[in-house]
Amino acid sequence: MIINSTELQNNFGKYLMLAAHEDIIITRNGTEIAKLTAVRDASTENTTMMEQVREKAQEYSSDGKKATFEEFLELQKESEERYEYIDGEIYLLASPKTAHQIAITELFGIFYNFFQGKKCTPMVAPYDIELRRSQESINMVQPDIMIICDLEEKINEQDYYKGVPSLVVEVLSNSTRRKDMIKKLDLYMSCGVNEYWIVNPENKEVTVFLFEEKNITNNTTYKNNETVQSYIFEGLSAEIRRIFRV
């Protein structure tokens, strides 16, 4: 990731957290002047979720070429496959495995019951969410689960939602690990999502991030017999044993 020195000074906490996942190159007047990078202990081999960001996980299906948003929409129209569009790159969404789908099913059931009679609505993929870093920088993603609290106000005439979910859940797979833990974390944080759950079936862990003013202000990892707790929805919780029952 490349940022200028002013952006680093204004959002140091955000980029300090992101540096645990990838190197941050700092520029001044267009010239690279420094690099913010994580300290890595070569003598230990921890397998926690946050450290797996450093693995050379297979990039989820992308040819690495930049495309316009219009080209992405045209591809979507012509294909029956599912795609996402993040920072100019088009990604094919692969078919998920059983543990991935069970985690989604369990969490959606918990969310559905919790939000009965409340304003917010849980939604499940496939469901396009359009996120803008700026007026020109448009992204299109399909989170595994999302909690939407302004559905009625943000539905357009074509019946598409054009707001920002309050809470987003992504369930990791080997092919999406790097995307979900780096690219999507930054995208959701930058575009106004308040809370992000990263669900890891391999390690049977859930990490919950709280975003405020486009920065990470808190995060907690839950595992073993613990119960995941939402930061923004009081009383919303999920037992780890129930999420990962296989």
Q: Is residue 13 part of a domain?
A: yes
Q: Is residue 182 part of a domain?
A: yes
Is the domain of 224 the same as that of 103?
yes
| CB neighbour list of residue 155: distance below 8 Å, 6 or more residues apart | 161, 162
In the prediction, which pLDDT does 127 show? 94
Reported as a single tens digit per residue, the pLDDT across 76-115 is 888 888 899 999 988 888 888 899 999 999 999 999 999 9
Reported as a single tens digit per residue, the pLDDT across 227-246 is 999 999 999 999 999 999 87
Is the domain of 7 the same as that of 105?
no
In the prediction, which pLDDT does 80 show? 82
Query: Token pair 């002047």 is at which residue?
Result: 33
10 Å CB burial of residue 164 (0-12, 13-18, 19+) is buried
In the prediction, which pLDDT does 12 show? 64
In the prediction, which pLDDT does 139 show? 96
Is the domain of 21 the same as that of 120?
no
Reported as a single tens digit per residue, the pLDDT across 32-66 is 777 777 655 434 333 443 343 333 223 334 455 67
Is the domain of 100 the same as that of 34?
no
Q: Pull the structure tokens for residue 67.
A: 């495309």
Q: DSSP state, 155?
A: B
Q: How many domains, in total, are found in the chain?
A: 2
In the prediction, which pLDDT does 16 show? 65
In the prediction, which pLDDT does 92 show? 87
Is the domain of 107 the same as that of 193?
yes
Beta-ladder partners of 199: 171, 206
Distance between CA atoms of 22 and 25, rounded to whole angstroms?
10
Q: 110 with 238: CB under 8 angstroms?
A: yes
In the prediction, which pLDDT does 178 show? 82
In the prediction, which pLDDT does 98 show? 93
Range of the domain at 199: 96-243
Mean pLDDT of the chain, nearest integer: 84
In the prediction, which pLDDT does 203 show? 92
CATH code assigned at 209: 3.90.1570.10
Q: Is residue 239 part of a domain?
A: yes
Is the domain of 107 the same as that of 22?
no
The neighbour count for residue 126, using CB atoms within 10 Å, is 9
Q: Pull the structure tokens for residue 75.
A: 């591809």
The neighbour count for residue 54, using CB atoms within 10 Å, is 13
Is the domain of 128 the same as that of 226?
yes
Is the domain of 18 the same as that of 107?
no
In the prediction, which pLDDT does 179 show? 86
Q: Which residue has the higher pLDDT, 130 or 10?
A: 130
Is the domain of 111 the same as that of 31?
no
Q: Is 200 helix (H, G, I), strand (E, B) or coil?
A: strand
Reported as a single tens digit per residue, the pLDDT across 150-171 is 999 999 999 999 999 999 999 9
